[in-house]
Amino acid sequence: MGGETFALPAARKAAYHAWATLTSPLFLAFLVTLEDVARAAGLTREDSRRQSLPIIRQTLENYSRLGPRRSFSGPIIRGDVETVAKHLAVLRKHSEAHAIYVALARSALRSLPVKNRNELGKLL
């Protein structure tokens, strides 16, 4: 797997384990949520995986090569309040996906380049 050994102070072990849990098992839970939203859009789980994987791979490649700020794309970076409002409206029928979308969008507002930050913040 290409792992590296390193010293980890005991006080940081829980944070490290939380990071590792977000990195793999909860990332997979996010992908299942992505499939659920794709089903709401009329795609099968298989179609969702097939169509999402090239985007996910490119996003990971961009993240690795360019970092998060230069890899960020979509309606939030553009400050497209109207589109984000439409997303929130459709996701209200899918409460878990709605909560994840809002949490991730708020994280983007805190740490990534975003236009219309205040307007989006009010919406979220």
| Residue 3 vs residue 70, higher pLDDT | 70
Q: Where are the domains of the chain?
A: 13-71, 74-124
CA gap 46, 32 in Å, rounded: 11
- 54-107 residue pLDDT tens: 999 999 999 999 999 999 999 999 999 999 999 999 999 999 999 999 999 999
Q: Tell me, what DSSP letter sits at residue 4?
A: -
User: For the residues 9-14, what does the mean pLDDT come to?
Assistant: 94
Burial profile 105-120: b = 16 or more Cβ within 10 angstroms, e = fewer: beebbeeeebebeeeb
How many angstroms separate the CA atoms of 40 and 23, rounded? 26
What is the residue whose two structure tokens read 């384990």?
17
- Claim: this prediction has a pTM higher than 0.85: yes
